[in-house]
Amino acid sequence: MRAPLACVGDLVADVLTPALVIDLDAMERNLARMAEFARAKGMRLRPHAKMHKSGVIAKLQVAAGAVGVCVQKLSEAEALAEAGVADIYISNEVIDVRKLARLAELAKRIHLAVAVDSVLGVDRLAEVLKTAGSTLDVFVEIDVGQGRCGVAPAAAGALAHRVVSHGATDATGQPTGMRFAGLQAYHGRAQHLRDPAEREAAIHHAVTLARAAQSSITSAGIHCPLVTGAGTGTFVHEAASGVYGELQAGSYLFMDADYAQNRPAPHAPVFEHALFVKSQVMSRGVAHAVVDAGHKSHAIDSGLPRVWRSGPSAASSGFADIEFGNGGDEHGILTPRSDAVPALGDTVWLVPGHCDPTVNLHDHYVVVRGGLNAGVVEAVWPVDARGCLD
């Protein structure tokens, strides 16, 4: 792990670059808004910690009312458990037997859940749980439009039956081994449709498929306790569906440049940009400037970062009229439109295109209180699950 680029108490102006910076005031407002939304709608909130990869932040979410967090990889769950997170759902499949054995061990230490979408996966999981003598929740994943993992809705009953068939009860009558917990039904593609009506239509379709999967499970004589899914782009629709009981949105906490391009749905909570890459001009031409932040400091899978002009208030802050060009791993090329070319040594704030993989490129968050201009570093948090691939 690299040395942090700032110390607690530093002025934001003194944070070395390129650094991953949280505007803590903005993050706290986002945290409260989503918690309040879930509470008002009577929904369980299980934010996706694949976004922030931080034990500190996961615990803040739980303190604000979340039931736990999601992750995508076993090693992320291990890292967050190590950081003190007690309730984690791996909303993804694990098929390797050695990883499954680790999963069964982890299930002894925390409340753990995992998704399945194959008979092989279910049978292997049953075997390791039996060997370890541990228990976890299992969600059957269905494909609701993502075209990636998950079984067809009509096949959900058979797979749920397979899960239940491996179940057992202990001496006190409590279920052990695999507990069938419901359906994983996430529509990733729908999150980034720009038109709110298109997002609503996509989730309407997902809800129809989730309902069909519920019927398939009920027809197999099995109770389906929960449907879980949703993301920052669509959660208002899943919450209104009457089918979903748990929301997995993650990006709401930081917001990224990609999500900022979604036109909001009516009455949806509004979230602020709270995650930035602080960069510095390290070379300057006549009509362009070069900052020390390339795509090794920010992910570009969902577009390039946008340049942020941080004013003394939210109203005076916003995107600058400067184009950010990809200058390779270590450079960003700024071409101002109406604005002046920044000077050598100037600070330039960037809003990343996509939070999750941007966070993965950094070892620490530099956490700033009091805004990006005159703020002070209140904390430095490790990105606990950075680089957790397996």
The tokens describing 355, both together, are 């939070």
Q: How far is the CB of 348 from a second copy (least distance, A)?
A: 13
In the complex with a second copy, which residue's Cβ is closer, 92 or 310?
92
In the complex with a second copy, which residue's Cβ is closer, 115 or 132?
115
Q: How far is the CB of 242 from a second copy (least distance, A)?
A: 28
Number of residues that bind a second copy (CB under 8 A): 64
DSSP output for 187-232: -TGGGG-SSHHHHHHHHHHHHHHHHHHHHHHHHTT-----EEE--T
Place of tokens 């942090």: 4
356 binds a second copy (CB under 8 A): yes
Cα–Cα nearest to 237, from 194, 198, 189? 198
169 binds a second copy (CB under 8 A): no
Mark the segment that binds a second copy (CB under 8 A) among 15-23, 37-45, 106-114, 207-215: 15-23
237 binds a second copy (CB under 8 A): no
11 binds a second copy (CB under 8 A): no
In the complex with a second copy, which residue's Cβ is closer, 35 or 126?
126
Distance from C-alpha of 137 to C-alpha of 235, rounded to nearest angstrom: 23
162 binds a second copy (CB under 8 A): no
Near a second copy by CB under 8 A: residue from 13, 283, 321, 374 = 283
Mark the segment that binds a second copy (CB under 8 A) among 54-62, 80-88, 200-208, 325-333: 325-333
155 binds a second copy (CB under 8 A): no
Distance from C-alpha of 92 to C-alpha of 100, rounded to nearest angstrom: 12
Question: How far does CA 129 lie from the centroid of its chain?
Answer: 28
Distance from C-alpha of 85 to C-alpha of 111, rounded to nearest angstrom: 9
**Contact at 8 Å (CB) between 142 and 243?**
no
171 binds a second copy (CB under 8 A): no
Distance from C-alpha of 341 to C-alpha of 332, rounded to nearest angstrom: 13
**Contact at 8 Å (CB) between 259 and 232?**
yes
175 binds a second copy (CB under 8 A): no
Phi, psi dihedrals of residue 25, rounded to the nearest 5°: -60, -45
Site for a second copy in 291-320 (CB under 8 A): 292-293, 295-297, 299-301
Mark the segment that binds a second copy (CB under 8 A) among 54-62, 68-76, 238-246, 312-320: 68-76
Distance from C-alpha of 166 to C-alpha of 169, rounded to nearest angstrom: 10
Distance from C-alpha of 306 to C-alpha of 325, rounded to nearest angstrom: 10
Q: How far is the CB of 178 from a second copy (least distance, A)?
A: 18
109 binds a second copy (CB under 8 A): no
Distance from C-alpha of 142 to C-alpha of 177, rounded to nearest angstrom: 22
145 binds a second copy (CB under 8 A): no
**Contact at 8 Å (CB) between 316 and 384?**
no
Near a second copy by CB under 8 A: residue from 93, 105, 200, 272 = 93
Distance from C-alpha of 369 to C-alpha of 11, rounded to nearest angstrom: 10
Distance from C-alpha of 198 to C-alpha of 55, rounded to nearest angstrom: 35
In the complex with a second copy, which residue's Cβ is closer, 175 or 357?
357
39 binds a second copy (CB under 8 A): no
233 binds a second copy (CB under 8 A): no
Distance from C-alpha of 184 to C-alpha of 320, rounded to nearest angstrom: 40
In the complex with a second copy, which residue's Cβ is closer, 24 or 361?
361
Residues forming contacts to a second copy in the complex (CB under 8 A) are 1-2, 5, 16-19, 50, 72-73, 75, 92-96, 98-99, 117-118, 120-121, 143, 147-150, 188, 280-285, 288, 290, 292-293, 295-297, 299-301, 326-331, 333, 344-345, 356-357, 360-363, 386-390
